[in-house]
Amino acid sequence: MAALLDSLPAVSDADVERVRAGRRRRSRRRTVALVVLSVLAVALFAAMLMLGNTIYPVSDVLAVLRGEDVSGASFAVGTLRLPRALTAVLAGAAFGVAGSTFQTMLRNPLASPDVIGITSGASAAAVLSIVVLKWSGTATMGLSLAVGILTALVIYLAARGGDSTGGRLILIGIGVGAMLDSVVAYLLLKAAVWDLAVATRWMTGSLNGSRMEDILPLAIAVVVLVPIVLFLARDLGALELGDSWATALGVRVDRTRVLLVVAAVALACVATATTGPIAFVAFLAGPIAARIVGPGSSVVLPAALTGACLVLAADLLGQFAFDTKFPVGVITGILGAPYLIYLLVRTSRRGGSA
């Protein structure tokens, strides 16, 4: 051991100082990024509350939030816009955390729950429960959650064994997702209540008609599960190095992974049961967040903020940028798919097999 240490090049104070400076720089960048993302999220949230058919000034919005009765604004802001904005923030954060957790754990930016069919499962369950069986909100959440976890389990079991499980898992997930999407399409076709709002919600995700009383399960899920994922984020970083490294660093690999998968799937499923599978938010939030905060730090919190910003911004675009009001999922779908293709081309160019 001593011989080994002797053979290493001497570490000078200058080297130590350089490493420390680098660490400080990265930590400063992370702090700045988190602050910027938070400010952006708050600004978008405020815009959601202020904009609409009637534009209310900040003072009115604040008055409504304090619970005062402002004529007109109380209904528009308090009953219509606030639930919508809250749903956007919570769903965005849930999708963002779920996506980045999957991506980090499976070490593949393509392995997010919306690409590999888990949100399709939750969506199919939600359609079955709401449109066909006419179940209540809580039962819908339960069924979505159960089917989402079952979907994840099926994909995992089907992909197990042999080498290169990551690629196979994605492939199988796409196939299972295609099957479940056809279930959604079928249930909507048969339900005889075909209306646009319902259909787009369960196919691409939408915030239309968000109500305060529907938010509770999602809020509970985000408040309980995001801290759990944050707590496990350190282990998640170790998992990214590979199972054997993680074990060597003292991570209980299996337990950590099961906890993380359940938390991430639950977040994705509850968000899907509330807003429908908002296309590509889970897939996009992690990579964007990673690019903003830079390498070497956990992306869980930045991904949550990025997801929230994405959903808020896309919904604002969908509501106000065009003559027709488009649901949020249509916007994220059109914006997200080119990024997926770009990512695919870039990975391929480097010679990776995605």
Partner 1 sequence: MTATLATPRRAPAASAGARRRVVALVVAVVAVLLAVLLSLAFGSRPVTVDQVVEGITTWLRGETPTDIGAIAVQSRIPRTVVALLAGSALALSGALMQAITRNPLADPGILGVNTGAALAVVIGIAFFGLSSAAGYLVLALIGAFVTAFFVYFVGSVGPGGTTPIKLALAGAATTAALSSLVAAILLPRQAVMDEFRYWQVGNVGRADWGSLGVVLPVLVIGTIVALLCASALNALALGDDVAVGLGVHVGRIRVVAAVAGVGLCAAVTAIAGPIGFVGLMVPHAVRLVAGTDQRWLLPLSALGGAVLLTLADTIGRVIGSPGEVEAGIITAFLGAPVLIAIARRTRMKAL
**Pattern of binders to partner 1 over 27-56, x per CB under 8 A?**
------------------------------
Residue number, 231 or 322, with CB nearest to partner 1:
322
132 is a contact residue toward partner 1 (CB under 8 A): no
What is the footprint of partner 1 within residues 286-305 (CB under 8 A)?
none
The beta-carbon contacts of 17-25 under 8 Å, at least 24 apart in sequence, are none
60's enclosing H/E stretch is: helix 58-65
Residue number, 105 or 335, with CB nearest to partner 1:
335
What is the footprint of partner 1 within residues 163-202 (CB under 8 A)?
164, 167-168, 170-172, 174-179, 182-183, 185-186, 188-190, 194, 196, 199-200
CA distances from 217 to 189, 247, 285, 303 (A): 28, 35, 22, 21
Cα separation, 183 vs 277, in Å, equals 14
312 is a contact residue toward partner 1 (CB under 8 A): no
Backbone torsion region of residue 134, taken as left when φ is above 0, otherwise alpha when ψ lies between -120 and 50, otherwise beta: left
Q: Which two tokens stand for residue 338?
A: 């080119």
Residues for the chain: how many in total?
354
Report whether 272 contacts 148 (CB < 8 A).
yes
Residue number, 83 or 327, with CB nearest to partner 1:
327
328 is a contact residue toward partner 1 (CB under 8 A): no
User: Pick from 280, 288, 300, 314: which binds partner 1 (CB under 8 A)?
Assistant: 280
Question: Which region, judged by CB under 8 A, interacts with partner 1, from 8-16, 64-72, 132-140, 331-339?
Answer: 331-339
Terminal alpha carbon distance of the chain: 40
Residue number, 217 or 307, with CB nearest to partner 1:
307
Residue number, 149 or 188, with CB nearest to partner 1:
188
Cα separation, 268 vs 82, in Å, equals 22
Question: C-beta of 63: minimal distance to partner 1 in Å?
Answer: 34
333's enclosing H/E stretch is: helix 328-349
Q: Hunting for tokens 């994840």 — which residue is that?
A: 152
Residue number, 7 or 353, with CB nearest to partner 1:
353
Question: C-beta of 65: minimal distance to partner 1 in Å?
Answer: 32
CA distances from 262 to 73, 148, 268, 326, 343 (A): 40, 10, 10, 32, 27
Interacting residues with partner 1 (CB under 8 A): 110, 115, 158-159, 161-162, 164, 167-168, 170-172, 174-179, 182-183, 185-186, 188-190, 194, 196, 199-200, 203-204, 279-280, 323-324, 326-327, 329-331, 333-334, 336-338, 340-341, 344-345, 347-354
